[in-house]
Structure 1
Amino acid sequence: MKAIVMNTPGTPDVLTLQDVHDPKITTPTEILVKLKAAGINPIDTKIRQRGTFYPDDMPAILGCDGAGIVEAVGSAVTHFQPGDEVYFCAGGLGKSQTGNYAQFAVVESHLVALKPTSLSFAEAAAAPLVLITAWESLYDRGRLEKGQKVLIHAGTGGVGHVAIQLAKLKGAQVCTTVGNPDKARLARQFGADETINYQQTDFVQGVLNWTQGEGVDLAFDTIGGKTFFDSCNAVKVYGDLVTILQPDPSIGNLKVARDRNLRISLELMLTPGLKGLINAQNHQTSILKECAKLIDNGQLKIHLSQTFPLAEAAAAHQLLEQGSMIGKIALLID
């Protein structure tokens, strides 16, 4: 099969299209998927730059998100059959025989859900990681409840645009940060009640104005760095702050968080896969199933900004690394 292969960490140029052996079903619970599209996420570019989680397994095929058609199933698989259209977040972290920048992938069946019928394969492939990340951050880590006020950073980004919609589905009021008026208009289309252009306004002051000086019940940080520490000032006393980035103690400290008695949560949706936590993986698959229903009911949308053919994975990485991305990018696979 054709696949985008990475032989060493580095610039996007290390991603090359090569012929590799087709993956084979090796356990009774696996399925073989003929991939039609693969999502591209920031974790892909970070792994490409720094190296994989499994450096002894090089070369590697990247890509955690995939969507395609079931080609074959293991002997113990009863809930999928050839011809089913599916989507999933699995592999792509450097482990041998995994990764979705390829024409085929073998995946454990408990990680796979039926694709939302209303989405194209490209849209579906762009969805799993951000759906799970936003869901776990808001609902599981942040314990978001109806009527609460939430700050979501980067509301038109891959995770942010999904998070706005999930927060609104829970009955929350949403404030989000954006970088320009066009993004503000798009964020409101996703459901944001309030937008703050961080280029023109200090977002902390903007949040305090919006909440009459109290702060939000929950802040969701998708940016990291100084933004994480500044967000502590935008959360109400005894509130929640969830981040998907690792806080850097060289940039700030948690004195404000401690003074305000904040509950801080770290979200890494890759943990179940890296640690082999089956129950947690099943929970993530249940999120994909529930989101598929919401998508097909018209209650949740995936904003796919651009697609690239598989052979142009390097160009897709270059675009993502430029920053200020709206929505998601996907690779189309013949």
Structure 2
Amino acid sequence: MTAGDLPHRRRNLLTGEWVLVSPQRSKRPWQGEEAPVPASDAPRHDPNCYLCPGNRRTGGTTNPDYSHTYVFANDFPALLDEGANAAAGDLFETMPARGEARVICYSPNHSQTLAKLDDRGRRAVVDCWCELSAEIGAEWAFVQLFENKGSMMGASSPHPHGQVWASDFVPQLVETEDRHQRAFRERHGRTLLADVIEAELTDGARVVEKNDDWLAIVPFWAAWPFELLLVARNDIARLEQMGERSRESLSLILGRMLRRYDGLFGIDFPYSMGWHGAPHSLADDAAHWRLHAHFYPPLLRSATVRKHMVGYELLAEVQRDLTPEDAAARLREVTI
């Protein structure tokens, strides 16, 4: 075995956590769960879909006959204007959690995922993200934009859509990223992800897509098999800071990335993705931040075999078999 084929650990620079990489396990036989192949023949309009134009949602509201991106307040929000009272004790502690949640229907077309939208349609979604980040961020400490795509990732509706959860607190994972980026800036006087971009472009082994404004990589510390990190190459801390060129090039690179996902196993590739930008509670104190998005897809070997975060991962440390370098190479090989 070469050094790259032997077990080793890699540290996630954004969180400080370690990932165990075990390349030799890629050859093990698989007799575990094989999920059904996700359907990819969705109609343009589904009369039973809660999110299609003109249909009635479970909360009782009827959707308008929308013709572009459509945003509405989540009928079943995880956060409300009012939170529970704080309670402290030696063992058990609670704190109030306030916020709001919205749903973003990408398109009236029930079959048009982000990968399948044309560049104009994807650009409309990008503009929507930017507008929501600015609007909601003016009121709340942090705005989390995300998408769960596919039933495998827990999507409650097959209609392509994303979500926005805004809160009066900075969530734990974002607070951890903030702390590590800030510490790096204080130690080195540079932006952590700017240094990562420079190193990844020099190395090239984990680069999947790039243009003048964005870089998509399988990060060195990736936990999921075909995880991607999409990073702004310019000094941008939040979505709403993007100019016209950055928005347009983001739409283009998203299309290329997501078509590679779909082409990898020939299906509508499931994933959870989300944007991490500087919390709005930081105001102008965000020089250590660089806007980025995480893509976490579960599929491992094929359209039916997925990675399960169980056993050792739940009890000890995240572990992966396929190296990030091999994953990036496989994604680059996909014809789009």
TM-score range, shorter chain: under 0.3
Higher relative contact order (CA 8 A, sep 6+): 2
TM-score, with length taken from structure 1: 0.24
TM-score with structure 2 length normalisation? 0.24
- By percentage of residues, which structure has more strand? 1
